[in-house]
């Protein structure tokens, strides 16, 4: 099987894979008595959603239309997530539920891909226990999907490709975006950090940044196509540029994006505190396009736990970053990820996390119970605290955050926010719903023509889940 070629702009989607798309389309038009439909579902993070848009791009190019319903589909792909056990359980449950469909319609193609499939014990389980799954491919084989699909359709046997390939980011895959207002834009792939709890470096491979000119070209194109919000994606966007020729940094990339004409705003995730610089914070502070929003996952407030997690920063360095960011960026929205119950964490150490979130006062918090992942270092650490105890801590954390978040929306009343309207609101006909730069849901009365546009909205009233206002 041929690998991607290098034509001077990095690895590119191989020409023969375009040809396989054409072959699949021809085959389907000869074989099927109706236009073929695909159902593609991506679990997990935005990186995976962005991969899902490439999968749909390839399928569209190969002649498929799309359906939200599995029972109407001729092809079902689940693009899976391995980051926690409950994400994996959900996938196994949903795949199990497809058995009946396959029995009724033996021509149905069922495929599994994404991070779970890159783990050997999972692909083996699929091979042995889910014989009705036709195609399994890992994160390293996305650019070979047309050929793999062609083989499934012609060879009458199951196809597995979970080989590891240490490749650059492959440019030029077709993309079918889920919307026309907001776009995901991966600027790098993989991760080199090996936080001890995390499976991502094992399933997504080493970190590779896309070349600056390729990212800028995509931003320009998206702006020209009328996208109003672009989210730059990477596991650690702050180390963008490592390995590229020239002195390319994430802050430098942001400054180049700032120069691109057009009315659009930019977000990014995720920002690892160990590589978050004052230069980056200054760049956000001085920008008109970047949202004043920082997702800066702290994971824990205890220095001992942070070291055991291999995070490469301590509580004080983190708090210093937060103080600097709050001082430089007026109206900054701050969010974080927290893991509760890391192996060996004591209640006292958990209380240091509680005191940290009370000190920082995050606008949003994404909280997770520690989940052991096969092959990671933490999975072999002593983990004496019982699950019920960890759940109690978890509930304590949620209660603390609820208290912190309670006044947040109310404090917005009287302020004017620049809102990107994304669709109809829940408040009934005539209302639109959109997001503020801080990603808070805003509902306001406006005609549907304003969907996909920015509006200045004066906030008049607040609830827990949203604020309400009037067009200025
Ligand atoms: N690259 C990002 C995070 C990607 S995973 C970063 O470093 O910030 C998203 C979040 O899932 C992590 O921030 C962490 O809080 C959580 N997570 C990852 N592995 C986990 C595990 N084994 N158990 C529980 N939560 C985990
Ligand atoms: Fe996982 Fe850490 Fe990499 Fe984030 S930085 S993806 S948590 S290993």
Quote the crossing angle between the two packed helices 347-360 and 387-405, to the nearest 10°.
10
Distance 253 CA to ligand 2 centre (A): 21
Residues at CB less than 6 angstroms from ligand 1: 83-84, 197-198, 200, 235-236, 270, 272, 297, 299, 337, 339, 368, 370-371, 373
Instruction: Tell me phi and psi for residue 124, to 5 degrees.
Output: -65, -40
Q: What is the pLDDT of residues 402-441, one digit of tens each?
A: 999 888 899 999 999 999 999 999 988 999 999 999 999 9
Identify the residue whose C-alpha is closest to ligand 2 atom 2.
195
pLDDT band at residue 165 using 50, 70 and 90 as cut-offs: confident
Give the pLDDT of residue 407: 85
* Ligand positioned closest to the Cα atom of 309: 2
> Which residue, chain included where needed, has tokens 């021509």?
107
Going by pLDDT thresholds of 50, 70 and 90, the confidence category of residue 356 is very high
- Percent of the chain residues past pLDDT 90, beyond the cut: 94
> 195 C-alpha vs ligand 2 centroid, how far in Å?
6
Residues 26 and 19 sit within 8 Å (Cβ to Cβ) = no
Q: What angle do CA 142, 148, 152 make, to 5 degrees?
A: 140
First to last CA, the chain: 59
Residue 361 pLDDT class (50, 70, 90 cuts) = very high
Residue 9: predicted pLDDT: 61
How far is 150 from 139, CA to CA, in rounded Å?
A: 18
Ligand 1 centre and the CA of 129: distance in Å?
29
DSSP 143: G
Which pLDDT score is estimated for 168? 87
Examine the pLDDT at 4 and tell me if it is beyond 80: no
Which ligand is located closest to the Cα atom of residue 196?
A: 2
Ligand 1 test: best mutation among 198, 345, 379, 381, most atoms within 8 Å of CB? 198
**pLDDT recorded at residue 156:** 86
| Phi, psi (rounded to 5 degrees) for 332 | -60, 135
Q: Residue 62 pLDDT > 50, yes or no?
A: yes
Structure tokens at 65: 């239309």
Q: How far apart are CA 275 and CA 345, in angstroms?
A: 25
Tell me the pTM.
Answer: 0.96
Distances (CA, A) of 153 to 79, 109, 140, 148: 19, 8, 21, 9
Q: Are 197 and 342 in contact (CB under 8 A)?
A: yes
CA–centroid distance, residue 198 to ligand 1 (Å): 6
| Confidence (pLDDT) at 6 | 47
């Amino acid at each position: 099987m041929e690998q991607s070629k290098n034509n001077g702009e990095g690895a590119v989607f191989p020409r023969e894979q375009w040809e396989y798309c054409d072959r699949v389309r021809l085959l389907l038009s000869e074989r099927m008595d109706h236009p073929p439909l695909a159902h593609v579902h991506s679990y997990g993070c935005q990186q995976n959603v962005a991969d899902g848009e490439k999968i749909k791009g390839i399928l569209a190019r190969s002649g498929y239309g799309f359906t939200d319903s599995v029972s109407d589909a001729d092809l079902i792909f689940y693009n899976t997530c391995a980051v926690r056990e409950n994400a994996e359980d959900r996938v196994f449950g949903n795949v199990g539920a497809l058995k009946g469909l396959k029995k009724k319609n033996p021509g149905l193609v069922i495929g599994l891909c994404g991070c779970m499939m890159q783990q050997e014990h999972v692909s083996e389980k699929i091979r042995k226990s889910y014989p009705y799954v036709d195609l399994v491919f890992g994160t390293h084989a996305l650019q070979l999907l047309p050929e793999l699909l062609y083989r499934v359709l012609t060879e009458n046997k199951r196809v597995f490709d979970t080989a590891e390939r240490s490749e650059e980011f492959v440019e030029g895959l077709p993309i079918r975006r889920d919307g026309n207002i907001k776009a995901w834009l991966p600027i790098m792939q993989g991760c080199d950090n090996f936080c001890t709890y995390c499976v991502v470096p094992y399933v997504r491979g080493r970190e590779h940044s896309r070349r600056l000119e390729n990212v800028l070209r995509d931003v320009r194109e998206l702006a020209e196509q009328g996208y109003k919000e672009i989210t730059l994606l990477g596991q650690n966007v702050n180390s963008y540029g490592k390995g590229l020729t020239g002195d390319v940094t994430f802050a430098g990339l942001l400054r180049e994006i700032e120069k691109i004409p057009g009315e659009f705003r930019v977000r990014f995730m995720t920002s690892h505190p160990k590589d978050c610089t004052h230069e980056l914070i200054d760049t956000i502070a001085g920008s008109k396009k970047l949202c004043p929003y920082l997702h800066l996952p702290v994971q824990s407030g205890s220095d001992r736990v942070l070291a055991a997690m291999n995070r490469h920063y301590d509580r004080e360095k983190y708090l210093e970053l937060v103080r600097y960011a709050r001082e430089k960026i007026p109206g900054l929205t701050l969010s974080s990820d927290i893991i509760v119950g890391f192996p060996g964490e004591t209640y006292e150490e958990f209380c240091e996390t509680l005191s940290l979130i009370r000190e920082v006062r995050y606008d949003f918090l994404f909280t997770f119970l520690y989940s052991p992942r096969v092959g990671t270092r933490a999975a072999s650490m002593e983990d004496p605290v019982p699950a019920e105890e960890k759940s109690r801590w978890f509930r304590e954390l949620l209660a603390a955050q609820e208290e912190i978040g309670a006044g947040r929306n109310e404090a917005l009343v009287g302020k004017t926010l620049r809102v990107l309207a994304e669709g109809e609101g829940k408040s009934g006909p005539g209302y639109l719903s959109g997001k503020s730069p801080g990603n808070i849901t805003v509902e306001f009365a406006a005609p549907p023509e304003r969907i996909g546009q920015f509006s200045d909205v004066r906030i008049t009233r607040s609830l827990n889940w949203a604020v309400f206002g009037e067009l200025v």
